[in-house]
A and B are shown apart, each in its own frame.
Chain A
Amino acid sequence: MARYLERAEHTARLIDVRLDLGLDRGPNFDGWDFRRLYAALGLQQKGEAPTSPGALIDQLFFDATKRDSVAACVTAARDNARQVREEISSGMWEQVNALFLQLKQAGTEGTWSARPHYISRLVIDGVHLFEGVTDATMGHGEGWQYLQVGRFLERAAENEAVVDFHFARGSMLPPDHLEWVGLLRSCSALEAYCRCYTADLGPERIAEFLLLNSEFPRSVRFAAARVESALRAIAHLTGRGAGGRAERLAGRLHASLDYGQVDEILSDDPHTYLAAIGFSCAQVHAAAYQSYIMCPIESAIPA
């Protein structure tokens, strides 16, 4: 549930930023070339990319048959919430349900097309509200820790993909400050970055901020730290003791980011490094799923 909502918010934010940047495009640059957006979202895109803001929103926002669309993510989150309805607070359920209904209504009314910004805002604000309601009304026990794992694991993987897209060699982007601003805004990081480094934008500092900053809640390192601490708490709460596979994998990811050096990351092949982060995230996910959800009989009953 948290994972789906995180993805919905991320997708909505990237769409919003891309549509805004598209308006500021230079004369020799097609602002409505959305292949970049798909690449930054890490999506494989089948068939032609949409060529107008309207078509993009149709496809990436409202097309519930595409499993990565915002609508599909919100629907899936709502379905999940329903299944654990008795575990989550009513405030949480109402928030996710309200978001679902608002989105559905906006989709049928079609009023969004003239001002796509507002539909993105609806989702971003809705998800923020859900996070706030969750933290304020649900006991911070095991269930809440699972939500943390989902949210931050997704966030780490998403941000890794966006950064990778901007730093990978042969990137499809024109190397101007507009795109760097776009990258920071894609991670809601522009203001936080400026507070940290002033408004001088340097690729190295941007990479450092988005990957290695310990205080910014959308940096990969911050997310990895949260995943690790949530998994540790779950291990404790479920009486498994420390040192399970998921926890160790998450700890390793976190440590590699804690001691990472941005100059090394960028001077070697940034793509390899970032892809490894993405792979670690997937491993953590698989391990956590294996230990806590699947509960295979071999591991549950000591031999």
Chain B
Amino acid sequence: MRHDPRLPTEPSLVSRHPDTFVPAAGTLKSAGPTLIKVPQVLPMKPSPAPFGALFSTYDVDTPYDEMFEQTGRPHPHCRPLFEELRVASHTELGQRQMEADKAFLTQGITFTVYGDNEGTERIFPFDLLPRIITASEWRTLERGLTQRLTAINLFLKDVYHEGRILAEGVVPRSLVLSCRHYRREMRGVHVHRDTYVSVAGTDLVRLEDGRFVVLEDNLRVPSGVSYMLANREVTKRVLPGLFDRYQVKPIAHYGRALLTTLRSLAPPNAADPTFVVLTPGVGNSAYFEHAFLAREMGVALVEGRDLLVHDNFVYMRTTAGLRKVDVIYRRVDDDFLDPLAFRPDSHLGVAGLLNAYRAGNVSIANAIGTGLADDKAIYAYIPAIIRFYLSEEPILANVETYLLGNPSDQRYVLEHLDALVVKAVGESGGYGMLIGPHSTAREREVFRDKILTDPRNFIAQPTLSLSRAPCFVGQRIEPRHVDLRPYVLYGDQVTVVPGGLTRVALKKGSLVVNSSQGGGSKDTWVLED
């Protein structure tokens, strides 16, 4: 707020300069983290809720801040949000936060945290303040994601058929064949429409210069989309006034778009196809989401034991007898899908499913074997894959990645373990990961041994300074690191639902946004032009 000479001591709650919020002189250029300090308008005694007190400890130091420019002014598209927050009190925000939390609890939108012996069901922490993305930023993301997924589908088809990219040495054959998620069983199998990945949830992060880059491709059973939809519902309820100040693109059609995508995958001979969502069961951490999507689409939610394969056709047991199933949207990993083909100890799968699939009598989304393309070592080759199949430059860049199977990379990484992030290639959900700068010497030692035992299993990346967005924490608004997971549907047409799950590392300074590691989420608003 600029100090207005006409109002020397007025503790006004509404500034006369709605779009400026310039930090007091002297606080901006200091060497340490920049604190936006609200100029003290009242010299005698501090008001109990001074103007903008919510921001009193907000620093706009590097990295990129989703709300403020480096100067301390809000980005133009964040002004309405900022104006609302500047006049809001923490009690009011707290009240709305409580309403939101209650809504999630009542709806049963809870998450199971593995490796935690106590209560295991928690609400997925939700931060009230929306993360806002402009229309032009979104267009780039949409084009980039479409390009990436198109190339990935071509890559999967190629690898499981003639293997041109391997023959030409663009991607090393040994890397593909040694991938834990490469499925020999899929060699030469015709996948309807050559669509291997029809549902992707790509993790993006924003770098210091404001560019989005891809951190991970989730191409097996990406989760979180129900949180995206639920967050929007709740935000519209608790902050309708703020929502009304923006033109936010709607996302509620996701369920229908998913159904349309699945419909385009149905085997050609299925006249009126039957769809099911295959869940591992109520014990799964994402069970809420499986039920949610089945309900949104109006299709049955089944477990492996509800299905059976006869004569290479898949049937669902119903009270009225068996019913043929044509498309399975599966939320069960490859490993557990068919005990005859993969893990024999799996109780979650359906015996004979792979054969029915190979016979072309049932479609499975995502296809079996897509995990190959989200192996973190293959990830390093995605830009090359895009160039190879599409003869285009990647629109969305990758994060620099070191392959530990590669001797020179390995030497460098082992010397710089304290500065890098090391990840196991086949893991997700923030498990199996070492964050160098936040690690102890002991942890690094353990990882060094792991790496040396199985170098192919690890990659390393520089520790990124993820962008930060304002969050309502305790009684203040403070910046927290966020990422973005948009959901891409790939069928007859590519649909990127305008929004995504913005995940937040709610612990101050933390870089881990995974829900299984105590992260939270926010609603993500993509603005209309």
Contact = CB atoms under 8 A, between A and B. Distances in A.
A27 B243 contact: no
A196 interface: yes
Contacts of A197: 298
B253 A200 contact: no
Interface stretch (A187-195, A224-232, A262-270): A187-195
Nearest to B263: A200
A178 interface: yes
A115 B237 contact: yes
Contact of B259 (A23, A178, A198): A198
A27 B528 contact: yes
Nearest to A27: B528
Taking residues whose C-beta sits less than 8 angstroms from the other chain, chain A's interface range is 20 to 34
Interface residues of B, number: 26
B99 interface: yes
B99 A115 contact: yes
Interface in A161-210: 177-178, 181, 191, 193-201
B298 A117 contact: no
A53 interface: yes
B259 A181 contact: no
Nearest to A177: B253
Contacts of A193: 298
Nearest to B299: A198
A200 B529 contact: no
B240 A200 contact: no
Given A177-B253, A200-B259, A117 B237 contact: yes
B296 A194 contact: yes
Nearest to B238: A115
B122 interface: no
Contacts of A178: 250, 252
A116 interface: yes
Given A197-B298, A201-B256, A115 B240 contact: yes
Given A177-B253, A177-B256, A178-B250, A199 B240 contact: no
Interface in B270-292: 275
B255 interface: yes
A196 B298 contact: yes
Contacts of A94: none
B241 interface: yes
Contacts of A114: 240-241
Contacts of B250: 24, 178
Contacts of B240: 19, 23, 53, 114-117
A198 B257 CA distance: 12
A87 interface: no
B439 interface: no
A79 interface: no
Main secondary structure of the interface of A (DSSP, over half): helix
A26 B240 CA distance: 16
Interface string A87-129: 0000000000000000000000000001111100000000000
Contacts of B187: none
Contacts of B528: 26-27
**Centre residue among A23, A178, A195 by max chain B CB count within 10 A:** A23
Interface in B287-335: 295-299
A20 interface: yes
Nearest to B300: A195
Interface in B196-247: 236-238, 240-241, 243-244, 247
A46 to B, nearest CB: 26
Interface string B379-409: 0000000000000000000000000000000
Nearest to B295: A191
A199 to B, nearest CB: 5
B243 A198 contact: no
Nearest to A22: B244
Contacts of B252: 24, 178, 181
A23 B298 contact: no
A36 B240 CA distance: 20
Given A114-B240, A114-B241, A199-B256, 17 more contacts: A19-B240, A22-B244, A23-B243, A23-B244, A27-B529, A53-B244, A115-B99, A115-B238, A116-B240, A178-B250, A181-B252, A194-B255, A194-B298, A195-B298, A196-B298, A200-B259, A200-B260
21 contacts: A19-B240, A27-B247, A27-B529, A114-B241, A115-B96, A117-B240, A118-B237, A178-B252, A181-B252, A193-B298, A194-B255, A194-B298, A195-B295, A195-B298, A197-B298, A198-B297, A198-B299, A199-B255, A199-B298, A200-B256, A200-B259
